[in-house]
Amino acid sequence: MFKIFEKKNQARTGIVTTKNGEIKTPFFMPDATRGFVKFLNNEDIARTGIVPMVVNTYHLFLSPGMEIVKKAGGIHKFMNYDKPLLSDSGGYQVFSLIHKSPKMGKITDNEVVFRSPTSGEKHIITPEKSIQIQFDLGVDMMVCFDDPPPNNYSKARIAAAVERTIFWAERCLVEYEKQIKKRKITAGNRPLIFAVVQGGEYVDLRQRCVEGLIEVGKKVGRDWDGFGFGARHVNEKGVFLEEILRATASFIPEKALRFALGVGTPEDIVRCYLMGWDMFDCVIPTREGRHGRIFLRIRGQQPLPSPPQPLSNSPLSKGERERHGAGGFYETINMNNGKFAEDFSKIDAQCDCDLCRNHTRAYVHHLFKSRDPLGMRLAAIHNLRFYVELMEELKTL
């Protein structure tokens, strides 16, 4: 249930209603892959202003396992998180595992058989099973099990993955309807369901995938609540797939949510937002924070994608890139750098996060030098706050 407030060119702001509350778009979700964001508790998350988070079906299925999650009363109760959660289908993880090492499993049109990389135990996952697991998790938003080939596969193989993705989306949607009936879930309490658009770096395949998915919705009698962008949003060289993302957004019906899975850096999020994408998730703010990399807004600079090149393809010198980021509206600093040892200034005097309100750069540098998890936790909190503030600024563009 998505309502658009305002549209400027392709970008739009709106509100999504889920069974665990409303979310204003555009929004960013940190990855709580295994049911937690490393080092952060729910109170830390809440103070950053983050509302929804992403959990991963594949990882939770392997550990702690669905019996434990069910006994806890679902993923919200297990995590003690009362705000919206989205579960990724696990398709990307299972396929990556097998693409990297074919002895880890086998993919057929019917199912995927894979071995747990930790226990070696054999598991079978089907589109139906992925949906059942996501219902057992009790999430607010779920994603279809799809076939995500690496972007460097041949066009023929990517086209085959598109057809399989459409075929599996139908099985997912049929199972979704079955579970709604079986569990007697009312209209206001149903999780939102997202299809995933594959097609690699080919506009015609992306279009075919969206059209096929819309047909599936008509056939089953349920419109998709949203569409996700499947596979990587950058090519092998790390160059942002501008044309593909723009075209894919334009194929997706306006009333549906557009989810740019795994996007990304601040400048890529800004680019996607301006094309009409509404929701984003990425490990970057938390992972980079744990490594000591802090995102800083250059105050007074609007978050516009200028220059348009991504980091790896930017005309800026390395030093300039580090100082300005790729979008010109932020920079990153690395707290491991010895130059901060005697810098008693705030990280960002205008930021209201736990880190910036309470500590100096010198102290945070000392925490990283001492390898204390407190520094990693505070840096992740600051970076999430940076992403939340970016989302707020996008709403005013």
Among the candidate windows 185-193, 217-225, 358-366, 378-386, which touches Zn ion by CB under 5 A? 378-386
Among the candidate windows 59-67, 205-213, 358-366, 376-384, which touches Zn ion by CB under 5 A? 376-384
Angle at 311 between CA 305 and CA 315, to 5 degrees: 85
Tell me the C-alpha distance between 64 and 45, whole Å: 22
Contact call for residue 382 and Zn ion (CB under 5 A): yes
Contact call for residue 356 and Zn ion (CB under 5 A): yes
Contact call for residue 353 and Zn ion (CB under 5 A): yes
Contact call for residue 233 and Zn ion (CB under 5 A): no
Among the candidate windows 157-165, 183-191, 322-330, 345-353, which touches Zn ion by CB under 5 A? 345-353
Determine contact, residues 373/39, Cβ cutoff 8 Å.
Answer: yes
Considering only residues 164 to 223 of the shown chain, the ones binding Zn ion according to CB under 5 A are: none
Tell me the C-alpha distance between 266 and 293, whole Å: 14
Q: 342 or 352, CB closer to Zn ion? A: 352
Q: 233 or 382, CB closer to Zn ion? A: 382
Handedness of CA 349, 352, 358, 362 (dihedral sign): negative
Considering only residues 106 to 165 of the shown chain, the ones binding Zn ion according to CB under 5 A are: none
Q: For residue 48, give both structure tokens.
A: 């950053």
Among the candidate windows 98-106, 169-177, 335-343, 381-389, which touches Zn ion by CB under 5 A? 381-389
Tell me the C-alpha distance between 243 and 238, whole Å: 14
Q: 293 or 382, CB closer to Zn ion? A: 382
Tell me the C-alpha distance between 4 and 256, whole Å: 10
Q: 206 or 377, CB closer to Zn ion? A: 377
Contact call for residue 379 and Zn ion (CB under 5 A): no
Q: Which of 225, 268, 281, 348 is catalytic?
A: 281
Tell me the C-alpha distance between 285 and 294, whole Å: 8
Q: Count of residues binding Zn ion (CB under 5 A)?
A: 5
354 annotated active-site: no
Considering only residues 80 to 99 of the shown chain, the ones binding Zn ion according to CB under 5 A are: none
**What's the count of helices (H) and strands (E) in the chain, helices before strands?**
15, 16
Query: Token match 């978050």: residue?
Result: 303
Query: Token match 């679902």: residue?
Result: 74
204 annotated active-site: no
Q: How far is the CB of 385 from Zn ion (least distance, A)?
A: 5
Contact call for residue 351 and Zn ion (CB under 5 A): yes
Q: Report helix, strand or coil for 122.
A: strand
Tell me the C-alpha distance between 135 and 128, whole Å: 11
Q: How far is the CB of 355 from Zn ion (least distance, A)?
A: 5
Q: How far is the CB of 41 from Zn ion (least distance, A)?
A: 18
Of all helices (H) and strands (E), which one includes residue 385? helix 373-395
Q: 175 or 389, CB closer to Zn ion? A: 389
Q: How far is the CB of 204 from Zn ion (least distance, A)?
A: 44
Of all helices (H) and strands (E), which one includes residue 37? none
Neighbours of 101 (CB within 10 A): 11
Contact call for residue 333 and Zn ion (CB under 5 A): no
Q: Which of 88, 136, 225, 278 is catalytic?
A: 88
Maximum Cα interatomic distance, the chain, rounded to a whole number of Å: 65
Among the candidate windows 3-11, 153-161, 325-333, 380-388, which touches Zn ion by CB under 5 A? 380-388
Tell me the C-alpha distance between 379 and 385, whole Å: 10
Residues that bind Zn ion (CB under 5 A): 351, 353, 355-356, 382
Which residues participate in catalysis according to the annotation?
A: 88, 281
